[in-house]
A and B are shown apart, each in its own frame.
Chain A
Amino acid sequence: MLRAALPLLGLPLAGAGAAETPTQEPRAPGEPPPGLALFRWQWHEVEAPYLVALWILVASLAKIVFHLSRKVTSLVPESCLLILLGLVLGGIVLAVAKKAEYQLEPGTFFLFLLPPIVLDSGYFMPSRLFFDNLGAILTYAVVGTLWNAFTTGTALWGLQQAGLVAPRVQAGLLDFLLFGSLISAVDPVAVLAVFEEVHVNETLFIIVFGESLLNDAVTVVLYKVCNSFVEMGSANVQVTDYLKGVASLFVVSLGGAAVGLVFAFLLALTTRFTKRVRIIEPLLVFLLAYAAYLTAEMTSLSAILAVTMCGLGCKKYVEANISHKSRTAVKYTMKTLASCAETVIFMLLGISAVDSSKWAWDSGLVLGTLFFILFFRALGVVLQTWVLNQFRLVPLDKIDQVVMSYGGLRGAVAFALVILLDRTKVPAKDYFVATTIVVVFFTVIVQGLTIKPLVKWLKVKRSEHHKPTLNQELHEHTFDHILAAVEDVVGHHGYHYWRDRWEQFDKKYLSQLLMRRSAYRIRDQIWDVYYRLNIRDAISFVDQGGHVLSSTGLTLPSMPSRNSVAETSVTNLLRESGSGACLDLQVIDTVRSGRDREDAVMHHLLCGGLYKPRRRYKASCSRHFISEDAQERQDKEVFQQNMKRRLESFKSTKHNICITKSKLRPRKAGHRKKDGVANTETTNGKPPRDLGFQDTAAVVLTVESEEESDSSETEKEDDEGIIFVARATGEVLQEGKVSGSLEVCPSPRIIPPSPTCAEKELPWKSGQGDLAVYVSSETTKIVPVDMQTGWNQSISSLESLASPPCTQAPAITHLPPYPLVAEEPQTPLHQSYDTCSSFTFPPSLAKAGRSRSESSADIPQQQELQPLMGHEDPSHLSLGAAKPRWHIQFNRSGQL
């Protein structure tokens, strides 16, 4: 095999090589001809991207290595390690190449490395927290940055005037102000890298971090203004230029924010229409956010602010619009890109520092700068906090202020800006570069290293992670409304008032416009928490395996012993019959014994409890559509099942609720009470098959509607396909079941061709109790798009089924005589078909025919499966039971 393949592989290779080489010579076997290279070194063609990939790879590998030791990473922030690594690598490169290469280029930094980080932080910014503290954040970002820039600049100038800075540093006041403006800004990348590991409380984090993001506008303006002033020369600066500088602050910041919001709007609007092309949703998010960044950069507005606002603004709508998978994709891609960029930035910072040709050291300047930035930062924070605390509900205490002062890290933004300086205009550039590098290294390494112990030592309130609970969410909303109302009563239009206003505006107009209707319907925060809680529970349920199955609610005495056997056999059956054959009692034997019933019980239990891997081999090679069914349905089903279980256990313990409920819904009462009984009395002959379905109640319904709106694959319009109305739970469970399997069942094939006698028999024996289940397991195939009518009909047919003889009688006649053995599949088939046809209604003839052919195809399958169950009950295939069901079905379809 291999030997045959080799020449085949070799030929095209040689052919390709030959095609490339212009001079073609006849092949001499054994030795490569001079013009025809089997192997060519084409480094220069791939050099640039190759190097980029290599750097990222090196950085990632380094990250992995760092994290091999938990001790190191718990003590030293990753950014420090990366900078050190960069220094080492830079040293190696310098030693090998004799010149410093691979600098942190400002162009690369601003165009490629910074946007992902900012987008990530903006998109995942906790918006509520952000806006709650917006006042403080803005103050620190604007006033604080201005304060830092001017004080540092003038102080350095004073230092120079005092003769403490060597005279070779040729810089005037403007140069120092320029330097001050670039060195004063707290850097988002550095802050994020360090603070993410420190876990201070959210308020503190959001203030420092929000400041670092929003101060970009101020930094950019100050930098540009000072830069142009320096280039113009201080003598030529007019008064109007100062005014322009002030005005540009507003233009740059508000303009940047506006650009971001416009793109956020566009993004949200676009994702509203991506229902058929889910696959590009993540891409859209990145593209439009990047477009926002570039647009702002192009118009020399604050690009960081633009991306931040874009991320912040679009998140709510985008998250609602895009599919669950896209959400995950966006999240992970964003995190990956940001982490990657951050890693590369810090490493390149280290590498760049090695390049001594750009350095010019002046101790006075370096030490002075270090001292001033720390001192003025602290002073500024204290002063501003004092003012802010007059207005804050929760004042920032001294410890907070210490952390905020100490957390003012400088980073790559400052470095990139200082590299961008023009040496001809700013003669002291080299000194500034050296100083900036030292400042950045000092803040990132020294402060980054010490801030964690400091936080511990000062006992700063840490962020506490607790799971959101429904109660908290609900009550939080209540509090919001209460506060808004009280503000109304007091007549003070404060923060709560405006937030309330905004939310109403958002609800009325923005959400309507930007969210697709189905998403809008389910996009409620309380609902969201509820949904997520359920997902979490479902996941944990899955993690626990089948244990929950037996432990919660369903206390079947026979279960523990048989659990494993039955489970494996049924799962195997399911696996084997990958066609999506409907799990039903055909697997269970005909012998009507107690064990038999247990099996039936078990089966239905598993039917409800196990995830059914239906439709596994759907072609998923399309590049444009991800087949959404598998995973998503799994999630949904698991979710659904979990809810059933939850409600069961819940209700069985709390009957009073059931009773109040049943008052509201008399229909349900009977079922419900029985449910309570069924939980305990499963053994005494009554097969509690309804267990699995009974309590699906509201929960299943909700899941389904969710699924409807979420799963884009179903081409039915989300909004009109299924509209759930409040109604009796009995109906609800039907619907849930119905829609669930409607989607899952690929073809009429799933109609069990040969239900067993046992199954057939059990319902009759069990009396009414099984009625619901009986239908619920079978209505599935029949139910049309409109559930309402479907249900009504199923009810009517059911009722006719329960009492009247016409359906029952013939079915029963067929019951005992045909205990089907697997070896002879044909006869029962015919019978089933015969009986079917005798009861079918004309319109469904075609369907019946088809299903017959399919059922015949299924028979061998079942034959194969036989052994799985067979060791317990050798002859358990029989077809009798199919008939009444077929009835219903055809009946139904005929009616419809």
Chain B
Amino acid sequence: SLLLLLVSNLLLWQSVTPLPVCPGGAVRCQVTLRDLFDRAVVLSHYIHNLSSEMFSEFDKRYTQGRGFISKALNSCHTSSLATPEDKEQAQQISQKDFLSLIVSILRSWNEPLYHLVTEVRGMQEAPEAILSKAIEIEEQSKRLLEGMELILSQVHPETRENAVYSVWSGLPSLQMADEESRLFAYYNLLHCLRRDSHKIDNYLKLLKCRIVHDNNC
């Protein structure tokens, strides 16, 4: 009977252990994490698609041919965050740091997204397509943030609430009287949003394969 107990314990442990990131215990955690990551990836993918469309529409309509791209260099407020820029760098970041980083980026965009919506909505002849996308991005980003914080709490429960994020101070630029300056401010904002949403999406897909599938997607 002792042998039976031993064997059954071993079997139970085996079913539990595939993910070391579930200290909360067993099967329920494993399943939940997978679902959380699946959901997160869906959101991040969706947000980037929206951001990319929004940028393309804005550029096509307002700033085509102005050469803003040459000016929108190194102008994103989140550039201060040390984010990996290739696969090797990404693989060197720990799981925990990676998750924290993602959360930081998401947090950094809370305020800009909020103002973006406000400002676009207040525009005369507000572009409806851009506005609707901005609204959607803001809402989905909040959900994604919540999901990431949940994942973080499950994977690394000991992590204190992460306060690191980049502050955005581009609001005055959005309200500038000079049209070109204002347009550039929007252009820059949307350009950065497109980039950062792509980052988040790529990072999450990396983490999902790393955490849920053990680098075997």
| Real binding pair | no
